[in-house]
Structure 1
């Protein structure tokens, strides 16, 4: 049964990591037009126990994308400088949509793994009862 619980823990860690990633992608999309906003990028790391990799993943923190902010010309904007420019955000909507789709598909794959492991363990218990 230990293998089943390890598989379930691995799937749950993947779902948890991807849901966190999707939350940050959503924040990026919501702040596409926010002046001075820098895109958040989630980093992952493998979980180790006693020096051995468990197969689980977790968030290794959030970093800010350091690409240049878009320079927007709008002399009427309250944040514009004397030349009429202000810093926009560095969020690319196409990249964020692709990241959201990738996180969704990875979440679904982990969910399928969780469901299959649960089904296999229930079938094993049925066999052991007989």
Structure 2
């Protein structure tokens, strides 16, 4: 039964990681028009237990995208400098939507994997009862 529990934990770690990724993508989209906002990214890392990998993933530290902030010309904006420019965000909505879609698909794949393992475990129990 350790294979079943291991597949459940691999799926669960994938679900948690994709949920965290989707949360950061949502924050990026919500702050796309916030002046000075830097896009957040979250890397995935393999979980290690006693130096051994089990196929599970976890999220690393949140990183801020260091690409240049967009310069926006609006002399009437309160943050505008002497030239009439202020720094916008470095969020690209096309990239964020693509990341959100990828995270959603990966989340769905982990749900299906979890469900398949549950069905196999259930079928095995049914066979053992006979």
Q: Which runs of 4+ in 1 moved over 3 A?
A: none
Does structure 2 retain, via aligned residues, the 8 Å contact 1:25–1:40?
yes
Rounded Cα–Cα distance in structure 2 between residues aligned with 1:75 and 1:27: 27
Q: Give unpaired runs (5+ residues) of structure 1.
A: none
Q: 2:7 aligns to what?
A: 7
Q: Give unpaired runs (5+ residues) of structure 2.
A: none
Q: How does 1:1-40 map to 2 (within 5 A)?
A: 1-40=1-40
Could you report, residue by residue, the CA deviation over 1:36-59 in whole angstroms, capped at 9, with x for unpaired residues?
Answer: 000000111000112111100001
Q: 1:102 aligns to what?
A: 102
> In the TM superposition, what is the alpha-carbon distance from 1:122 to its structure 2 partner?
0.3
Q: 1:114 aligns to what?
A: 114
Rounded Cα–Cα distance in structure 2 between residues aligned with 1:7 and 1:50: 19
Could you report, residue by residue, the CA deviation over 1:76-102 in whole angstroms, capped at 9, with x for unpaired residues?
Answer: 000000110000000000000000000
Q: Give the 3-state SS of the residue equivalent to 1:123 in structure 2.
A: helix
> In the TM superposition, what is the alpha-carbon distance from 1:121 to its structure 2 partner?
0.2
Could you report, residue by residue, the CA deviation over 1:27-74 in whole angstroms, capped at 9, with x for unpaired residues?
Answer: 000000000000000111000112111100001110000000000000
Q: 2:66 aligns to what?
A: 66
Length-normalised TM-score, structure 1: 0.99
Q: 2:90 aligns to what?
A: 90
The alignment yields a C-alpha RMSD, in angstroms, of: 0.4
Rounded Cα–Cα distance in structure 1 between residues aligned with 2:21 and 2:68: 22
